[in-house]
Structure 1
Amino acid sequence: MSLIYHVVPAKDWARFETAPMYEANSLQNEGFIHLSTESQVAGVLERYYQNATDLLLLHVDPARLTSELRYEVATNNELFPHLYGPLNKDAIVRIESIN
């Protein structure tokens, strides 16, 4: 099983703690939820969360997703996974505190 990952501030995650689905702000603003492969997580943290604290890393099984997942060209011409719809929480296999 090859997992994909989503970085989220703990305070944002807390709003969805009891809900069956999670919706990042980007779903409303950009139409999808940003995800990363394992090798991309460090770069995402460095680029977008350098001074952030209290972050969580969601470990997601793409085989369990109910919304459409597409790999699309983004930063540095890398293919990043984008989820076009809410993230069903039963696809999350682990939640890790990363700082």
Structure 2
Amino acid sequence: MHIYKIFRADEWQALRDAGETAGAPIDVADGYVHFSTAAQAAETAAKHFYGADGLFLLAVDAEACGTDLRWEVSRGGAEFPHLYRALRLSDVIWAQPLPLVDGQHQFPPGFAEAGA
């Protein structure tokens, strides 16, 4: 199963430059890297990145994170994946731009339906 992280362009560049990151400022403050499932990603984008352009969607293999990944209750009582270690560039399966068109983030075709 893939889990997803939305990064601003500078955060994605920092991960590529350093090879690992503690995440975005909210991740650092909370002590873990926030992720979403495919079903949760669009709501995460709308809630936390409303109107933000220049974003990137990163896919990570949940199973490869091992015991450092915990599923915890968060928004709306749903369980979200939280990574309790640095996110490594080697964890990233793929990264794609998440363009903003008419105020809506455009996820890859078939993303949510396929569980991407």
TM over 0.5: yes
CA positional deviation for 1:36: 0.5
Provide the residue aligned with 1:5 in structure 2. 4
CA positional deviation for 1:64: 2.3
User: In the superposition, relative to structure 1, how do residues 90 and 80 fare at CA in structure 2: closer, same or farther (>3 Å)?
Assistant: same
Provide the residue aligned with 1:35 in structure 2. 35
Query: What are the Cα deviations for residues 53-88 of structure 1, in whole angstroms up to 9, with x where unaligned?
Result: 000000001222267100000010010000111012
The 1-side partners of 2:59 and 2:53 are apart by 18
50-59 vs 82-91, which moves further: 82-91
* Structure 1: runs of 5 or more not aligned: none
User: In the superposition, relative to structure 1, how do residues 89 and 67 fare at CA in structure 2: closer, same or farther (>3 Å)?
Assistant: farther
Provide the residue aligned with 2:74 in structure 1. 74
Query: What are the Cα deviations for residues 1-37 of structure 1, in whole angstroms up to 9, with x where unaligned?
Result: x100000001122122222212212342111110000
User: In the superposition, relative to structure 1, how do residues 79 and 66 fare at CA in structure 2: closer, same or farther (>3 Å)?
Assistant: closer
Provide the residue aligned with 1:46 in structure 2. 46
Q: How many residues align?
A: 98
Taking only aligned residues, the RMSD between alpha carbons, in angstroms, comes to: 1.5
* Conservation of the 8 A alpha-carbon contact between 2:54 and 2:98: yes
Between structure 1 and structure 2, the one with the greater Rg is 2
* Conservation of the 8 A alpha-carbon contact between 2:15 and 2:88: no
* Structure 2: runs of 5 or more not aligned: 100-116
Amino acid at match of 2:53: T
TM-score by length of structure 2 reads: 0.78
**Partner-residue secondary structure (3-state), 1:90:** helix
What fraction of aligned residue pairs are identical, expressed as a percent?
28
Query: Which consecutive segments of 4 or more residues in structure 1 shift more than 6 A?
Result: none
